[in-house]
Structure formats: structure tokens, C-alpha cells
Chains A and B, each alone.
Chain A
Amino acid sequence: ILNVEQSPQSLHVQEGDSTNFTCSFPSSNFYALHWYRWETAKSPEALFVMTLNGDEKKKGRISATLNTKEGYSYLYIKGSQPEDSATYLCAPYNTDKLIFGTGTRLQVFP
């Protein structure tokens, strides 16, 4: 079973703080890396699908980078807002399926 690790497991920040978290995954047989935001009682929502080493993607205040050679991706949130509170999941596509990490749970306090 491929190991996908996300750190930290949980994070509490103040409104306005910037934050980042990490997704580590096996670099062999890499094809794509997905990031999803999952708010409580809602459906996971796609943020990014990244495929190229060195790729950087941005969506509003959220951005992500990808290093396929060393097997990691960073997700950054600039100026966190309470509505950013959610669990952020990463999932590399490997061996014909998405392999999900356990997620980073972010709570942003006003």
C-alpha cells in the first residue's frame, strides 16, 4: 500500500495569518497530484490537479507547488479567513487510482 502523508494533522490559525501544509507521496510511478477542500457536512471540492514537476497553481488566496522528483507538494493559504476552515486532502494518482492522505484539518479563528 502506497503511503501518502499529510502534515500537520491539524492547524489552528488566527484570521489574517498565512499558513501552509505538506503532502508527501512516493515519487515513483507518479502521474498527477490532486488537492481537495472538504468542509464539514459538504462534498469535497477540487482545488488543483497538478502534473508537472515544478508546477505552481493558484486559486484566489490558495496556491500549491509540486515536486515530483522528491515526492512532495505544498499548499499555501494567504491571509486565512474563517471560511477557509476545512480539511484539505491531497491524493496522488498512482497505480491507476487516487490514494488519499488523511488530510490537514485547518481551523481559522476570527
Chain B
Amino acid sequence: GAVVSQHPSWVICKSGTSVKIECRSLDFQATTMFWYRQFPKQSLMLMATSNEGSKATYEQGVEKDKFLINHASLTLSTLTVTSAHPEDSSFYICSAPISGRAMDTQYFGPGTRLTVL
């Protein structure tokens, strides 16, 4: 099956620093990737849609200047949390469909636990 990796699996940083999370499709090309965030006891919430070669589309309420997304190749999307604050501490996870469509089967990375001190 299709494999998506995510790095790092966990990160601890100081308030005010930036953190980059990578999402890679290992055995297929991903024109579209999706970034989700999950707070404790809550559901996965879509943050943004990452499109290869074009700007990301952000969900309502997600600050695009704070959560920078770059999808520079067909196998890599990065999410950079800029000037991280404790309220950004969360679980971040990416997914990608082989078809490129959100309504089709998603292949998920294992997620990144971000803790901001």
C-alpha cells in the first residue's frame, strides 16, 4: 500500500521559535496533501490543503502567516509553525490521496507531537 512518512515524530521547542514538519509520500506522487491538527479529546481538524506548485488553501480560522505550507515537489509538503506559542501545542498529521482528490482514500503519516514550552 501507499506509504506516507512524517518527520519529526515529536518536537519540543521554546515559545517564539519556528518548527518545520515534513510530510513525504514514499511510493507515489502526491499533487495534494492535507494537514490536520488534533487537540486532546477532539477530532482531526483540517487546517489546510497543500497543492504542489501553488499556494495552499487554508481553512477558516487558520492563520496562513503562522502556519506556512510549502509543497515544492510531488513527494514533499512542509508545515512550518512560525513563532510558536504554547497554544500551538498539538498533534499535527498529514495525509495524501493517490488520486489527488480529498474524497478518495487517504494515506496518513504517523503524525508529529508538538510541545511548545
Contact = CB atoms under 8 A, between A and B. Distances in A.
Interface of A: 4, 31-32, 34, 36, 41-46, 49, 89, 91, 93, 96-98, 100-103
Interface of B: 4, 34, 36, 41-46, 49, 59, 93, 95, 102-111
Contacts of A46: 105-107
A102 B109 contact: no
B46 A103 contact: no
A105 to B, nearest CB: 11
B41 to A, nearest CB: 7
Given A43-B109, A43-B110, A44-B108, A32 B44 contact: no
Contacts of A89: 43-44
A32 B97 CA distance: 14
B18 to A, nearest CB: 25
A98 B110 CA distance: 18
A43 B111 CA distance: 7
A43 B102 contact: no
B110 A96 contact: no
Contact of B110 (A42, A97, A100): A42
B46 A97 contact: yes
A26 B111 CA distance: 28
Contacts of B95: 44
A104 to B, nearest CB: 12
A58 to B, nearest CB: 16
Give the interface centre of A32, A34, A96, A97 by most chain B CB atoms within 10 Å. A97
Contact of A102 (B41, B108, B111): B41
Contact of A93 (B4, B36, B44, B102): B102
A43 B41 contact: no
A49 B105 CA distance: 7
Contacts of A100: 36, 43-45
A97 B102 CA distance: 6
B60 to A, nearest CB: 10
B106 A102 contact: no
A107 B111 CA distance: 22
